[in-house]
Structure 1
């Protein structure tokens, strides 16, 4: 695993952990305050870099052994707004 893959996997794992944490353990407003600035930064990437990040997240998801975490990780590109509109319709 290279540094880029490591960072993408760590990024995805952190976002999945936030997503899967119960509301009584992490206030949803706090979770949104943590995730939204990161999602905005990711959406500001060029289309090519967004596609690369999506591919890195999908690769990270394939190595996730917990099915719940894997499903959440696979949903990240759409949840973060990284997919082009025509990709969302597929």
Structure 2
């Protein structure tokens, strides 16, 4: 992956972490889904190979996390984004 692709993947991962771990009073689950759903639809347009490459990259990010809660969120990110089961 290029530095641009890696940076965008990391940014996407950080958004998922922040949304997932936010207090429901700060960002409601409905608001979270209003952000995640359109992103998920865009990711569905990627080829299977590209979705797998993104999932692999996100998995690398999870291995860099030292906070267990953030790490679990990152591990679940591909499924949360709906491009891997």
- TM-score, normalized by length of structure 1? 0.83
CA contact (8 A) 1:57 1:74 kept: yes
CA contact (8 A) 1:43 1:80 kept: no
Q: Which runs of 5+ in 1 are unaligned?
A: none
Within a 5 Å distance, the mapping from 1:6-85 to structure 2 comes to 6-83=7-84
Pairwise CA RMSD: 1.5
Deviation for aligned residue 1:58:
0.6
- TM-score, normalized by length of structure 2? 0.88
Q: Which runs of 5+ in 2 are unaligned?
A: none
Deviation for aligned residue 1:57:
0.7
